[in-house]
Amino acid sequence: MKLRILLADDHEIVRRGLRALLEKHEGWEVCGEASDGREAVEKALQLNPDVVIVDVGMPNLNGLDTTRQLLQHDPHFKVIVLTITDSDQVIREALDAGARGFVLKSDAARDLVSAVEALQNKRMFFTPRVNDLVLAGFLEKGQTVSRNETPKLPTLTAREREITQLLAEGNSSKEVASLLNLSTKTVETHRSNIMRKLSFHSIRDLVVYAIKNNLIQIELPPPPKSPTGPTAA
Amino acid sequence: MTIRILLVDDHPIVRQGLKTLLEGHSDWEVIGEASDGAEAVEKAKDLSPDVMVLDVTMPRMNGLDACRLLRRQYPALEILFVTQHDSPQMMREALEAGGRGYVVKSNAARDLLAAVEAVSQHRVFTALHSRNMS
């Protein structure tokens, strides 16, 4: 029986590349694709894949929250997170969310097959950096709070995180309400709660928070052209 | 006549996706790949592509700098940017750098074929997420 894989990435080009890579492996099939986290959750519940591969930086519902929702529905889902960054925070959040695999997008061509094989054999797969962090006891330290540490920001609920992401992506409250099948009034209430909890005064604060907490991922543009211009290699 | 295409992106998975899309076209051939702007310049010299599909944000040398260099050295080479940056300003910079086309990665599967067709015929093709222009 074939191993069935669901792919979730907002770029069709990336999904094509992932599909081409994975379907070369005998015994594996890509049973479905999703272009955002919400669609990924719907399709996973519908198709019951053996492995779900999710991009962290997806619109509407990011990959980390997608992972949390999938595992809330069914703890047996096996999720590999794909990300453009392996910052400590993303690693910690991916592990906390319940991901069983963590692969950098830049290394996906090299690591993804090994990651899927690991999950197929009921093992986990993480990049070497994640393994180093685990060995160094980073995760244990990260979970303790000493009296001298700055108190953490209040935790947002899952719904508040969803709304924070959508607002940070530029959606109005009305648009968020439409996406989440809520009333605009409900979204406005959540928005006020979020702003109050986090002591924010503007949408800009919200966007910065969303970036820092990996609710949205951004790729920075190259620096401006230098006066002397490039030289041949 | 076969259009010879060089793919340049720092993510092999993206290059693979672009390749599967382009190789369906009988008159096009992907002749090589590069993972940054500096390698793109070297491979352009070795392989003489007709069209280069070029990412913007890459290590060592970004796509804009590579484009400026390549257009000076190989005026016949047409460059199509395929990038994450859905920004009119970035698009303007890319065209000013000498690019003939600009397509956003989120719509690459929809726009790439038409874009390569256009730039291979020396026509401009630009498509941001919200608007299409050619």
Q: CA-CA distances (angstroms) from residue B5 to A52, A175, B25, B35?
A: 33, 41, 12, 14
pLDDT at B41: 97
Q: What is the DSSP letter of A178?
A: H
What mean pLDDT is predicted for residues B1-16?
A: 95
Residue to mutate among A7, A13, A25, A85, with most B CBs inside 10 A, is A13
ipTM reported for the complex, 2 dp: 0.87
| Domain ranges for chain B | 1-10+24-52+64-83+107-134
pLDDT at A203: 83
Taking each helix axis from N to C end, the angle separating B63-73 and B88-96, rounded to the nearest 10 degrees, works out to 20
Q: What is the pLDDT of residue A219?
A: 62
Q: Cβ of B56 and A221 within 8 Å?
A: yes
Q: Which residues pair with A102 in a beta bridge?
A: A81, A126
Residue A223 has pLDDT above 70, yes or no: no
What is the distance in angstroms between the CA of the first residue and the CA of the last residue of chain A?
A: 51
What is the nearest CA distance from A103 to chain B, expressed in angstroms? 12
Query: Average pLDDT, stretch A102-117?
Result: 91
Spatial neighbors of A88 by CB under 8 A, at least 6 apart, are A133, A138, A142
To the nearest whole Å, the CA of A17 is away from the closest chain B CA by 4
A21 touching chain B per CB within 8 A: yes
The answer to whether the CB atoms of B108 and A20 lie below 8 A apart is: no
What pLDDT is stored for residue A150 in this prediction? Answer: 45
- Select from B17, B41, B90 the Cβ nearest to the Cβ of A17: B17
A10 CA: distance to closest CA in chain B (Å): 7
pLDDT in tens, B22-40: 988 989 999 999 999 999 9
Buried/exposed A86-114: b ≥16 CB within 10 Å, e otherwise:
beeebbbbbbebbbbbbbbbbbbbebbbe
A8 touches chain B (CB under 8 A): no
Is A233 a residue whose pLDDT tops 50? no
At B130 the pLDDT is: 63
Domains detected in chain A: 3-143 (3.40.50.2300), 158-212 (1.10.10.10)
Please check the confidence at residue B78 and state whether its pLDDT lies above 80: yes
> pLDDT over 70 for what percent of chain B?
96
Answer for the pair A27, A53: CB distance below 8 angstroms, yes or no.
no
Q: Report the share of chain A in percent with pLDDT over 90.
A: 52
Q: Strands B125-127 and B132-133: what pairing? A: antiparallel
> Which strands sit side by side in the sheet containing B101-104, from one edge to the other?
B28-34, B3-8, B51-54, B78-83, B101-104, B125-127, B132-133
Please answer yes or no on whether A230 and B69 come within 8 Å at the CB atom: yes
Higher pLDDT, B11 or A216: B11
**What are the residues facing B127 on neighbouring strands?**
B103, B132
- List CB contacts of A109: < 8 A, sequence separation 6 or more: A17, A21, B12, B13, B16
Residues 6+ apart with CB under 8 A from A119: A50, A51, A78, A80, A100, A101, A125
Question: Model confidence over A149-198: pLDDT tens digits?
Answer: 444 556 889 899 999 999 988 888 999 999 999 999 999 999 999 999 99
Does B1-10+24-52+64-83+107-134 carry CATH code 3.40.50.2300? yes
Q: What is the DSSP letter of A31?
A: E
pLDDT given for residue A128 in this prediction: 73
The four Cα atoms A32, B17, A81, A100 give a dihedral, to 10 degrees, of: 70
Written as six digits, the tokens of A107 are 């290394």
Lowest-pLDDT range of A125-129, A226-230, B114-118:
A226-230
Q: pTM of the entire structure? A: 0.80
- At A230, is the pLDDT very low, low, confident or very high (cuts 50, 70, 90)? very low
Mean pLDDT of A193-207: 88
Between chain A and chain B, how many beta carbons pairs sit less than 8 Å apart?
96
Nearest-by-Cβ selection for B109 from A16, A108, A233 = A16
Above 80 in pLDDT, residue A82? Answer: yes
Q: Is the pLDDT of residue A146 over 70?
A: no
* pLDDT recorded at residue A138: 52
Tens of pLDDT, residues A35-80: 999 999 999 999 999 999 999 999 999 999 999 999 999 988 999 9
Region of poorest pLDDT, from A91-105, B7-21, B77-91, B105-119:
A91-105
